[in-house]
Structure 1
């Protein structure tokens, strides 16, 4: 009887260990697949940064509700983000708050860093496009898992940062 209990105990330990190893392998496989997917959409310039948290230069961070994003494609950059902070020059139009930009003229540079994450720098070029007079530089730091932080540097406003995620941009119909 004691021998049977020992065999049963060893069998249960083996089954538990096997399940744990399988779960860890599945998790590692999902992480590797997400890393490959993230690399693919960054290299293809086909993604959307969805902001869910804002970190102004002064004051505390705020959870965002709503659809604030930066859409990047090969031939278009669309920014729709809120702004909390100090503006050095007030906009001429009172309804022109936030950070808004829609342009086809921009420089894009994406590089992998030593940790395997992505550093993306976007510079709008056309100063005549609405909104681009203020936006000087966008700096995205993207993890292999698709989590990202964005820092927006403006000409007439204090810098502001956002946290969020990236996802593949859906094809327009």
Structure 2
């Protein structure tokens, strides 16, 4: 008799908490989507990169904290580069590690809430075209096309409070 009452009480507690959990998940998802949209609209966001895909060879998981930061009209690129360089400064140059102004910043809304951001920038060693695809949950794909190097892609997550 006691055990059946305890089981019944346990079932009631479980049923009562399921809708609250589902609601909090949907609230969290909506909060993240709102934060991503606000960051894109303000043109101030940071993407923590965790994987790269060079044109040749397999993709690699990154263990160091690499990132791409957009702040108003500037890009702060701290990304590794593996690939073929056609024309680089003596000593190898700095690769994709630089802080420079952005030109031609364009935002385009895609299907399913995704956003595409394209911009150009120039460092002392090369010209770059960045193309970012940002998903509503903050996950991001970055494609970088350089004038003097093979293109390379990265994946990561937007640094927002989850």
Runs of 5+ consecutive residues of structure 1 not aligned to the other structure: 169-173
The match for 1:123 among 120, 123, 129 is 120
**Residue 49 of structure 2: aligned partner:** 51
TM-score normalised to the size of structure 2? 0.86
The match for 2:133 among 128, 141, 144 is 141
Q: Secondary structure at the match of 1:63?
A: strand
CA offset digits 1:15-70 (Å, max 9, x no partner): 32221111111111011101100100111011112211111111111111223222
Runs of 5+ consecutive residues of structure 2 not aligned to the other structure: none
The match for 1:69 among 67, 70, 82 is 67
Which range moved further: 30-39 or 14-23? Answer: 14-23
Aligned Cα RMSD in Å?
A: 2.3
The match for 2:146 among 137, 154, 163 is 154
**Residue 25 of structure 2: aligned partner:** 27
TM-score normalised to the size of structure 1? 0.81
Q: Point out 4+ residue stretches in structure 1 off by more than 4 angstroms.
A: 7-12
Q: Which has the larger radius of gyration?
A: 1
Q: Which has the higher strand share?
A: 2
Q: CA deviation at 1:11?
A: 5.5
**Residue 171 of structure 1: aligned partner:** none
Whole-Å Cα distance in 2 between the matches of residues 11 and 58 of structure 1?
A: 60
Change (3 A) 1:23 1:105: closer
User: 2:140 aligned with 1:164, yes or no?
Assistant: no
How many equivalent pairs are there? 160
Change (3 A) 1:123 1:134: closer
